[in-house]
Amino acid sequence: MVTPSFPPQYLAILILILFGIGFGAVTLYVGRFFRMSRPYH
């Protein structure tokens, strides 16, 4: 699944961006869930 016309640098940057967005979304979701489940903390 490797296309010769696609530079690996762009693939690495795209993966890093996707991981950053995914990690941020998961962190926000987990933080919101913990705030909802435990209002004291």
Considering the entire predicted model, what is its pTM?
0.51
pLDDT digits (tens, 9 = 90+) for 22-40: 999 999 998 888 887 766 6
What is residue 22's predicted lDDT score, i.e. its pLDDT? 95
The Cα–Cα gap between 10 and 3 comes to: 12
Q: Per the structure block, which two tokens stand in for 36?
A: 């909802």
Say which residue the tokens 């693939």 belong to: 11
DSSP at 5: T
